[in-house]
Structure 1
Amino acid sequence: MPQTGALFAVASMTLYGLEISSRQADLTLLTMAVPLLLLGLAFGAIGGPLADMSLAEVPHENAGSASGLFNTAVHLGIALGTALTALVFFSATGGSPDAAVNRDAFTGVLWWVGGAFALMWALMFCLPRRANGRTG
């Protein structure tokens, strides 16, 4: 399931980038919402199973601490990803108010984020397998 979610994330970033690049003036709320809906589904497919896999082997007496550590790591990753994405965006725009520069920087950031999801998908094959044969 997490690998499928990562592929959905790559597809949604690709679709979003292509729509912004090709439809510039014709973008509507619906065309912008579809890739974001796919991205939300992808995050759900990744996040839920990843939490279960991460906490499955934790002894019951340590479950609270492990859950807190997991949530802290997730929030740290979100904050770091947001900061790095903003860094890439603003270094590409140079603070320019020009819409074309900002659009190009935004689509460039989408390609970087899509590449990160593709790397995450590939790294998920390194996760250990569970005893019942499902990928863990």
Structure 2
Amino acid sequence: MTVPVVLIGFGLGMVGGPFADMALAKVPHGNAGSDSGLFNTAMHLGIALGTALTSLVFFSATGGSPDGAINREAFTAVLWWVGGTLAVMWALMFFLPEHTKSQAG
């Protein structure tokens, strides 16, 4: 369980910084605070939605059963689902526009 979770965390960590930089690169200096707050709110909404969808996949696979084998299979299914989603997001990053200089700098 540790290796997949660490790999997913590493992947999310590698995406988070560049994504914030790219999203806020063209924001005028006067609007940086508001846009940063909006960006963080959107990120937290995405995390909450991702957690809810992951929980939905997990509990739909277990059916609420306390059986360890069923929970293990559901956890494996969730890891594949999350890993696949992250792989698709990683592939889509190559279609993002190239980084430009910030207007604030």
Say yes or no: TM over 0.5. Answer: yes
Q: CA deviation at 1:101?
A: 0.4
Q: 2:71 aligns with which of 78, 90, 102?
A: 102
Q: How many residues align?
A: 101
Q: CA RMSD in A?
A: 1.6
Name the structure 2 match of 1:83: 52
In the alignment, structure 1 segments of 5+ residues that lack a partner are: 1-15, 17-31
Within 1, Cα distance between the matches of 2:48 and 2:100? 34
Contact 2:8/2:83 (8 A) holds in 1: no
Residue identity matched to 1:65: S
The percentage of counterpart residues that share the same residue type is 71
TM-score (norm 1): 0.68
Runs of at least 4 residues off by over 4 Å: none
Larger relative contact order, structure 1 or 2 (CA cutoff 8 Å, min sep 6): 2
Within 1, Cα distance between the matches of 2:100 and 2:55? 41
TM-score (norm 2): 0.87
Q: CA deviation at 1:131?
A: 4.9
Residue identity matched to 1:84: L
1:1-136 paired onto structure 2 within 5 Å: 16=1, 32=2, 34-131=3-100
In the alignment, structure 2 segments of 5+ residues that lack a partner are: none
